[in-house]
Amino acid sequence: MEINEAIKRAKENDQKAFNYLLDTFWDDVYGFQLKRVENENDAEDIAIQTFSKAFDRIETFDESYKFKTWLITISKNIHIDLIRREKKSISQIMSNDEKSVLQILDESPSVEDKLITEQHLAKLLRDIKKLKPHYQKVINLRFFQELSYKEISKELNEPINNVKVKLLRAKKLLADIIQKSK
């Protein structure tokens, strides 16, 4: 399959085209992020977010640009957003002697926060049960058992890229279920 053909088919929601694009450009996006964040797990998470966002908005892709460049731009913006969020969690205050001091905000959960979290978790588990069993399993392995993609690949006896695509799909379907239940 050729890149332009894959993009056209992906715009028509062809799963094989998504797999082809992921396989073709995974190393480029992952490698780009690995150089930026110097952490394999963070690079992998950002790469997955990149493909998720790109695949969700594939119909907006302009063929006059290179697909790889579009993906790298999305990836770079996701990384910048993550850095901004991290900076927001740390506030800068001035001390009495006018020296700058960084103070980390207390983000430990209150009793109310814990109760709300438990309620949200129960609802999330009910929503996960609405997914097909193979999507439930991949969500469980990744987020509840905290297995790496490699470990999930071994567990399911599937190629790692299939696991990534399946997890992408499961997250998208779960997001749709959550959105509809609001």
Report the chain (182 residues): mean pLDDT per 10 consecutive residues. Answer: 92 91 94 93 91 91 92 94 76 44 57 71 86 91 88 92 86 86 72
Q: How confident is the model at residue 86, as a pLDDT?
A: 77
Q: What is the DSSP letter of 145?
A: S
Q: Which domain holds residue 140?
A: 108-182
| Number of compact structural domains in the chain | 2
CA 116 to chain centre: 24
Q: How confident is the model at residue 28, as a pLDDT?
A: 96
Q: How confident is the model at residue 143, as a pLDDT?
A: 84
Q: How confident is the model at residue 89, as a pLDDT?
A: 63
Same domain, 40 and 51: yes
Q: How far apart are CA 88 and CA 102, in angstroms?
A: 12
Q: How far apart are CA 158 and CA 177, in angstroms?
A: 26
Report yes or no on whether pTM surpasses 0.75.
no
Q: How many CA atoms lie within 13 A of 140 on its CB side?
A: 14
Q: How far apart are CA 149 and CA 146, in angstroms?
A: 9
Same domain, 61 and 112: no
**Which secondary-structure segment (H or E) carries 94?**
strand 90-94
CB 172 within 8 A of CB 56: yes
Same domain, 122 and 35: no
Q: How confident is the model at residue 80, as a pLDDT?
A: 92
